Each structure stands twice: as C-alpha cells, then as structure tokens.
Amino acid sequence: MNDRPVSVYRRPVPDDLPLAGPDGDPAPVRARLADAEPRTLLMVLTHLTRDVSHLDRFAAVCDPANAESGAEREADEIRDLLADVLTTSAPRETGPLPSELFRRMASAYVHEPVDEEFVPLLLDQCGFAKLDGAPAAADRGPGGDGFHVVVVGAGLSGICAGVKLGEAGYSYRIYDRNKDVGGTWLTNVYPGVGVDTPSHFYSYSFEVNPDWPEFYSKGAYVLDYLRQCADGYGVREHIVFETEVVSCAYDDASRRWAVTSRGPDGTEEVEWADAVITAIGVFQGAVRPDIPGLDDFAGTVAHTAEWDPSLDLSGKRVAIVGTGASAMQVGPAIVDDVAGLAVFQRTPSWVMPRRKDDLTVPEGARWAMRHVPYYGEWFRFLTYWFASDGNFVRVVVDPDWHMPDVSVSKESEAMRQWLLAYAREELADRPDLLEKAIPDYPPFGKRILRDSNWYRMLKRDHVDLITDPIARVTADAVVTADGRETAADVLILATGYQVLPMLGQIDVTGRGGTPLADVWGHDNPRAHLGTTVPGFPNLFVLAGPNSAPNHGAGVNILAESQIHYVVGCLDLLREREARALEPRQDVHDAYNEQVDKALEGRVWSHPSVRSYYRNSTGRVVVSCPWRLVDYWTMLRSPDPAEYTLD
C-alpha cells in the first residue's frame, strides 16, 4: 500500500464549509467571487445544492452569444446565491453526482449536448472521480509480489507512471538522462516557452492545480508543478538521474528484461526487470537542418531545444529558421530586445486566435480554485471540452466535399474561414504579409498553433518575413535562393525535434534476440493500441505509434490513459499467475489495419500535408485516428483474449 499523500495540492470539499464560519457574513466571499468565471460558479451552485432549476434560471450565462456583454444580472445573482451557500451552515449535498444529473449540468455548462458516452471520461479526467471518494488504485491492496518495473524517462508520462505503479504496489525504478525531473519542460528553456494546451487541463487529473498564474502558463511553472508531483508522491526517490538506458534485452529463459544503463562517468550497469515502460515521448532530440555553410557561421547558432539561458540577444541581428511551435513562441518573446529579426519560413502555420491580451488568471478565480468546492474540477472540464473531441469533426474527411484542395468538410471549411478571418483582421494593413502567412493545406493538417502575438510581431518595422528557400549560410549572413543576403549575429534554429526512428536511442531486443529496429524499420513503428508489440513481452510504449491526440487535448490524458492500461496488464499477469504478456500477432495486425483505414479519412493524410506525423512513405505514424473518448475507452482494461500469457 502506498502511504504517500493523497494529494499534493489540497482540493476544497464540502466539509470545508462554511467559509466564514456559521452564519457568517457573505460579503467578503461575495467580493472574492467577482472575478471568478460565472458559468463555473453556476455549476458549483448546482453541484452543492443539487437544485437543477438553477440551470434553466441562469442559462444565459452559458450562452456564447452573451460572452462579451450579456447576462451580467444573472451572473451577479449566481454570486449572491453561492456566497450564501458557501458561508452558512445549511445542509449541503455531498457525494458523487448521479450520472444523468452530471450530464445535464455538463450540457448546460458548454451549451451543447454532452452524450452519455463522455460521462465516465469526464468524471475521471476532470478530477471528480477521486474527489468524490471513488476507490483509488491503492485501495486494491498490494500488488506485484516482487514484480519489478523499469521506467525510461522522468517527464510528465514517467512521473505519472511512477505515481500509478506506486499506488498499485509495484516495485519500480525510473531512469532519466537529465539532472532532474520534467523531461521536455526541463530541457526546453528558450524565451517564451510554454503550453499551448490550457494550463488547467495540462496537468494530472489526480492533481488539479489551483495555482496556475496564466491560462497558458510558461514552462517554468509546468516544471515546478511536475517537481511538486514527483516529490509529493515519493517518485523522486525511485529515480536514477544522469543515467541513460542504452539497451533492453528480453531473456526468454527467465522471462525478464536485462536493462543496461550508462551513468555520468560512462560506467554501464545491468538491472533485471519484469516489465519495461518507455516514457521518453515522441520528441527525441533536436533536428539540425542540412543547410550548406551552417558550420561556418561565425556568430552564435542556437537551437530552441538546446537553448543556453545565458545567451544575450540585446541589440543583436537575429535570424530564426522555422515557423513552427517553438518559433511562434520565441519570436514574440525576443522581438523587443533585438535590433533586427529575420524569420525564414518554409511553410506557414495556421494560427489560433488569441482570445484576449491578458492571459493572467484573475486572483478571484485562483481564490475560488483554492477554496470553493468543485470549482477547479468544473473549470478543468470547461478547458478540456473546447480543446478536445469537439475538434474531431474538423479532421474527418468528407469524400464528397467540393473543396478538397483547401479543406476536407463543411466543418473544416468553417474552421478555415474562422482562422482566415483572424489572420485578415490582424494583418489588415499588411496584405504582403497576409499572402505569405496563409497555409495552403487544411486546418489541423499540421499542428494548429496558439497566437502569442505572432502576427503583431511580423508587422514590426524591424521584422522581416522571408519565404524564399535558404540556399546557404555564410560567416555573417543567411543567403536565399534569389541571392539575397540577410546579415545576422545570431541564428536560431526552430527546426523541430527528431521523431523517427521511434525509440531509436535504445537498443531493444525481444524474444529470440529480435531487434525492435528490425520489426519497425527506420520509420514504420506499429503497436497494438499504440502500446504493446508482438514478440516483446511486458514492453509498454507510452506515446507509441498512432496514439497522439493530434486533434486536441494534451499528452496528459494520453499518459494517464495508457498508464491505466499498463497497470491493468500487470494486474492481469498477477491474476493469471503468468510472467509474460504480449499481444497476439493477428490481433495486432487487425488493429493496425483499422488504424490505417481510419487514417485514410483524416486530414493528416491529405496530399498537401507534409509533417512529422508521417514517415518517408507518407504513412501517418504519430496521430491516433480515433476520438479521445474512443481511445480512452479502449484503454480501460486489457482484453485477455487479445494477449498471449505465459
């Protein structure tokens, strides 16, 4: 049994009420609620009172038509009523919401139907299940009986794996090549780095953080959150830092894995494990572009994935190569400091509108998350809903669509027009930039990026957007194919990360000494449910082939879903008194046939799209073709009939 804290961030519950003492003055609490989100306050009011009449009475606050100016009277009345509920000793309903009531509230909240199939996912991923007293994994009793697991990587997924393995009673050790936890949030420190998934969802469902300072927080805050989770759950004491796993070899006789690691002094050691979980993520190191003369550049060359925080850009002429996610964050972050900024673009990106200039979480909302029961969970649901499966319809190809070159369906075209309207509004006075900034592929074909003042940056007098191909780099300039030279003191490579070969940094061999590299080839990885591979017993790949939710949400839900499945597989081994589990080849093949067939009807396979989602033959190897609710449901528990156990 895990004796670690139930929670790192304490979550308010009805037993904490009344906030101002029995029959206290509601005025101070009412004042605190002034900056909180009205829709969310309505859900809290309904949740605490179970009075569903509130949903009809105050429906106007949930109507998007009133987002800017309407429903203020209703919002004020909700605050008054809730302040009374929070500050009096009147009886309050506690315990889980009935499923139908939750669905009715959820549908009112987002002003659209929430189908029954989403309810289990929402209760789990928005944190209600644990908060309302559902049995935790640790309540199942000790597991493992000496069964030992090695986890590779101590980022978001690896920490989550440690938490859940510990809860389930399994012995585990985590190896990470870095000096601390955090993975990409530890190593990526370039200016402006942060999440483009809403902060209140980009976190663990079992650790709803009330203290995010911004709705899209910077990387340092994400790293701090992960550190606190690793420390609070005792995961850190299971981690070996500055140590890289170089090989994992399955031993047929003992049905165990020999895991070879290399420490900071170069010494290699072998640890035997019953199972191996790889949690190294999709991105496995910086991609350095093959540009003639790049090594001859006399100034500073900095890749966003390998940033030196001491680099001073003040007054420098800076050239950025690339216009993807990291470029769109670093450019606006440095534009005020540099003397000149040249952006070299190969392919433009679709840019999601910036909803408002100030993305700071109001203090009243943060207070509500710390003190008002259910506020944080309901707000998490709100951020999740509009950044997840609602987008799925926009990636599904309509074979009869009449504009297949630029969009894939009516919904896709509506999305394109929305993004176009935003670009046109932002660049209304710069038609030259507008022409360069609009992609020629459908929305979601590549990752849609959140605007961090990108368009506004491009309009600055000392910024130049260059779309001619780079021909070469000289000692002090970047030369394009048309012969134009752009002088530079610093060259920033925002050129992305190595994705394939997947798990390429580890020499993995399975049954009979078969290398995983031979099974997958250089760039054609496949797995059952994106997680397990025939011939490689008790090997579990997190963020594996065709598991990424590229239509929305974040890696957090992927990690939790897959780890839940992995622990289920380990429990299945224990229940069957077996030592090894691997997917049947026919089951694996049939699943991947379904994946390929489904992907033919998704925007990522559009002929105009070239992205890291695809391999050298054009097959999409990263994206999951299903909705999040579908994939989450698939991973609820392993089907013994799909596996060989011995």
Quote the CA–CA distance of 11 and 206 in Å, as a whole number. 10
3-state DSSP call for residue 522?
coil
Segment 368-376 mean pLDDT: 96
Range of the domain at 425: 294-350+408-493
Number of folded domains that form the chain: 3
Quote the CA–CA distance of 82 and 91 in Å, as a whole number. 14
| pLDDT at residue 144, rounded to an integer | 58
Q: What angle do CA 74, 78, 83 make, to 5 degrees?
A: 150
Quote the CA–CA distance of 304 and 371 in Å, as a whole number. 39
478 and 620 housed in the same domain: no
Mean pLDDT of the chain: 94
| pLDDT at residue 584, rounded to an integer | 98
Whether 396 maps to a domain, the answer reads no
| pLDDT at residue 135, rounded to an integer | 39
Quote the CA–CA distance of 506 and 38 in Å, as a whole number. 50
Instruction: Report yes or no: 511 and 536 within 8 Å, Cβ to Cβ.
Output: yes
250 and 299 housed in the same domain: no
C-alpha 213: how far from chain center = 18
256-262/268-273 β-pairing: antiparallel
CA nearest 234: which of 547, 532, 490, 1? Answer: 1
Query: Any idea what the CATH number is for the domain that residue 574 is in?
Result: 3.50.50.60
Quote the CA–CA distance of 185 and 167 in Å, as a whole number. 25
Whether 402 maps to a domain, the answer reads no
Instruction: Report yes or no: 147 and 568 within 8 Å, Cβ to Cβ.
Output: no
Distance (Å) of CA 251 to CA 261, 270, 573: 17, 13, 17
Altogether, the residues listed in the chain come to a count of: 646
Instruction: Report yes or no: 115 and 67 within 8 Å, Cβ to Cβ.
Output: no
Whether 9 maps to a domain, the answer reads no
Distance (Å) of CA 566 to CA 132, 587, 625: 25, 17, 21
81 and 217 housed in the same domain: no
6 pLDDT above the threshold of 50: yes
Mind listing the pLDDT tens digit for each residue in 254-305? 999 999 999 999 999 999 999 999 999 998 889 999 999 999 999 999 999 9
Boundary of a domain, candidates 437, 461, 493? 493
Whether 570 maps to a domain, the answer reads yes
Whether 391 maps to a domain, the answer reads no
321 and 342 housed in the same domain: yes
79 and 199 housed in the same domain: no
317 and 426 housed in the same domain: yes
Mind listing the pLDDT tens digit for each residue in 85-135? 999 877 777 788 999 999 999 999 999 999 999 999 999 999 998 765 433
Instruction: Report yes or no: 96 and 132 within 8 Å, Cβ to Cβ.
Output: yes
68 pLDDT above the threshold of 70: no
305 and 437 housed in the same domain: yes
81 and 198 housed in the same domain: no
Whether 602 maps to a domain, the answer reads yes
Whether 535 maps to a domain, the answer reads yes
Following DSSP, what letter does each residue of 236-259 receive, concatenated?
A: GGGEE-S-EEEEEEEETTTTEEEE
CA R_g for the chain? 26
342 and 447 housed in the same domain: yes
For residue 554, the 8-state DSSP code is -
Whether 4 maps to a domain, the answer reads no
Band the pLDDT of 67: cuts 50, 70, 90: low
Most confident of 19-28, 91-100, 457-466: 457-466
55 and 107 housed in the same domain: yes
79 and 177 housed in the same domain: no
Instruction: Report yes or no: 189 and 219 within 8 Å, Cβ to Cβ.
Output: yes
Q: Strand pairing partners for 342?
A: 319, 464
Order of strands, edge to edge, in the sheet holding 485-487?
470-473, 477-480, 485-487
pTM for this entry: 0.95
333 and 224 housed in the same domain: no
Mind listing the pLDDT tens digit for each residue in 153-207? 999 999 999 999 999 999 999 999 999 999 999 999 999 999 988 999 999 999 9
Mind listing the pLDDT tens digit for each residue in 409-444? 999 999 999 999 999 999 999 999 999 999 999 999
Boundary of a domain, candidates 447, 476, 493? 493
Instruction: Report yes or no: 421 and 427 within 8 Å, Cβ to Cβ.
Output: no
| pLDDT at residue 66, rounded to an integer | 82
Band the pLDDT of 22: cuts 50, 70, 90: low
Boundary of a domain, candidates 493, 515, 548? 493
Mind listing the pLDDT tens digit for each residue in 471-497? 999 999 999 999 999 999 999 999 999
